[in-house]
């Protein structure tokens, strides 16, 4: 089956400064890995268009979009303590959204999966505010576009930070189903178990907050006990993934203990639903961990040969089991 990678050089022109963790080097390291391993030859490379203005403004008000565009065209500057705008930011951000829209089209029309290797990331972006390195909420724009195409969608956010922007945007809607597994306490401070949605969205927002130190077996347990059953119950047409790789044990901005293989295992479990999977690059700030984790995802998607593995029998922590029990009770999971 064809696997698509959506990428454009504009994503490197979002300049944040040499010492900023979300810098162009993140993407450069991934691209070098793809070249070195000859992975480009095994995928369909898509050069995305800019997102249509009408789609962008379904999530972000016109005034906010103009604010970002004008600041970028004026040369940019520090937006807040974490988020930087440069002269290339607006173009990179609208093309990032376009990259995901293109992949959604391929998923709907040809039942194909893919990954958008984009920056800036998106899942912290609020409708009227950039934050947490994010400018436009690209995964939300993709989900809204899919809904317009009569698609029922799951957004699974495995970034180590809670996707507060995505949650806020869809908190009162039942399409998409939003599921986030993340570290707590940690930026941005949202994502408690009791944040379950409101009005039409009640029950369609599932947060899985875990303490630092969680390992591969803990995530595998949560996948089996919570995430897989809920996706089966929801029965989506399309699975969108906010694919941040900052849960890796080498990541400098968080405290999880995942290996790159955790992302392979989660991807393999998502594949069992037999639906197109579209991934959007979110966080991940150790370059080696980032490129290795994406390579593991590509192995799971059968783009690259999978390395033989010895099965491990580590058990999840009791705290993980306790969290799972609470979530099952809250969301009525058998």
Please report, in angstroms and rounded to a whole number, the separation of the first and last CA atoms in the chain.
Answer: 34
User: Whose CA is closest to 279, among 112, 77, 64, 81?
Assistant: 112
For every residue of 9-28, DSSP letters joined together read: GGGGG----TT-SS-HHHHH
What does the alpha-carbon distance between residue 164 and residue 171 come to, in Å, rounded to a whole number? 10
Strand 84-86 relative to strand 76-78, pairing = antiparallel
Helices (H), 74-224: 89-110, 138-148, 164-170, 216-222
What residues contact 18, with CB distance under 8 A and at least 6 apart? none
What the block records as the tokens of 92 is 């990179």
Catalytic-labelled residue, pool 14, 60, 124, 182: 124
211-239 burial, b at 16+ Cβ within 10 Å, e below that, comes to beebbbbbbbbbbebbbeebbeebebebb
132-156 burial, b at 16+ Cβ within 10 Å, e below that, comes to bbbbbbbbbbbbbbbbeeebbbbbb
287 is catalytic: no
Q: Which residues are catalytic?
A: 124
């Amino acid at each position: 089956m064809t696997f698509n990678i959506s990428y454009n050089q504009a994503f490197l022109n979002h300049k944040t400064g040499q010492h900023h963790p979300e810098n162009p080097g993140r993407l450069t390291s991934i691209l070098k890995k793809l070249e070195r391993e000859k992975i480009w030859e095994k995928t369909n490379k898509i050069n995305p268009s800019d997102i249509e203005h009408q789609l962008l403004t379904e999530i972000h008000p016109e005034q906010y979009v103009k604010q970002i565009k004008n600041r970028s065209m004026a040369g940019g500057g520090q937006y807040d303590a974490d988020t930087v705008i440069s002269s290339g930011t607006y173009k990179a951000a609208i093309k990032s959204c376009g990259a995901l829209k293109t992949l959604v089209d391929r998923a709907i029309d040809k039942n194909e999966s893919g990954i958008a290797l984009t920056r800036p990331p998106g899942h912290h972006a609020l409708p009227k505010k950039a934050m947490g390195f994010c400018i436009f909420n690209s995964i939300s724009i993709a989900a809204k576009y899919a809904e317009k195409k009569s698609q029922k969608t799951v957004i699974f956010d495995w970034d180590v930070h809670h996707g507060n922007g995505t949650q806020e945007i869809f908190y009162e809607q039942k399409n998409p189903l939003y599921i986030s597994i993340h570290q707590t306490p940690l930026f941005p401070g949202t994502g408690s178990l009791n944040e379950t949605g409101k009005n039409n969205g009640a029950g369609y927002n599932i947060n899985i907050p875990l303490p630092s130190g969680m390992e591969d077996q803990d995530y595998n347990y949560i996948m089996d006990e919570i995430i897989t059953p809920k996706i089966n119950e929801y029965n989506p047409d399309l699975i969108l993934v906010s694919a941040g790789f900052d849960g890796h044990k080498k990541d400098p901005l968080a405290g999880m203990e995942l290996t790159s293989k955790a992302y392979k295992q989660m991807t393999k479990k998502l594949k069992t639903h037999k639906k197109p999977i579209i991934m959007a690059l979110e966080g991940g700030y150790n370059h080696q961990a980032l490129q290795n984790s994406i390579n593991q995802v590509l192995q799971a998607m059968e783009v690259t040969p999978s390395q033989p593995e010895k099965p491990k029998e580590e058990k999840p922590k009791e705290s993980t089991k306790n969290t799972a029990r609470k979530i099952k009770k809250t969301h009525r999971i058998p």
